[in-house]
Homo-oligomer: A and B are copies of this chain.
Amino acid sequence: MLQITVVTGNANKVREVASFFTGLAEVGHVKTDLPEIKSDDVGIIARAKAEAAFVLLKRPLIVDDTGFYIRALNGFPGAYAAYVLDTIGMEGILRLMEGETDRDSYFETAIAYADEEGVFVFKGRVEGTVTSAPRGSEGFGYDPIFETGGRTFAEIAISEKSEVSHRARALLAFKDWFLKNRK
């Protein structure tokens, strides 16, 4: 069977990938947090991580990176979403958005796949709006302040979110390509 190694510090991500490839590929895990380059494009970050990981591991692998982009803040926090959450938090984001009528935002995930033929990047995006206060208790990160289709991501069960999320969309795009091109 085809094999894919998921390079990540987060075991949940490995389980998610495995569920996408049940019966289609064997999904392994190398647990490491790779150094990341500074960029506002999650595709560039994921590509660089996949290249570096392939030099070390020399087997087919995927890595990912996710950003959260708010239009009224010129894309902030973007690919720095995790750092911003750790410092000023959701509260800081809501403060920056006080009185702002343009609430448009999106999540974007890039999956980068590397093998001996090169690095291939697949993106998934979900558009929505920033709420005025957190709602819901599911999920993690910015989920309580990101609303799409009338609910925040923290008001959607994990099982449902993993079918509609930016990450799921990127994984689906990768899966389609992978099954066509790496049989």
Residues of A at the B interface (CB closer than 8 Å) are 35-40, 45, 48, 73-78, 80, 83-84, 86-88, 92, 95-96, 98
Q: A65: nearest residue on chain B (CB-CB)?
A: B38
Q: Which residues of B contact A92 (CB under 8 A)?
A: 73, 76, 96
Q: Which residues of B contact A84 (CB under 8 A)?
A: 76
| A37 and B40 form a contact (CB under 8 A) | no
Copies in the complex: 2
Given contacts A37-B36, A37-B37, A38-B37, A88 and B80 within 8 Å (CB-CB) = no
Selected from B38, B39, B87, the residue in CB contact (under 8 A) with A74 is: B87
| A83 and B40 form a contact (CB under 8 A) | yes
Complex CA–CA separation, A65 to B78 (angstroms): 21
Chain B nearest CB from A105 CB (Å) reads 13
Most buried by B among A36, A77, A83, A98: A83
Given pairs A35-B48, A74-B88, 9 additional interface contacts (CB within 8 A):
A36-B37, A37-B37, A37-B38, A38-B38, A38-B83, A73-B92, A76-B84, A76-B87, A96-B96
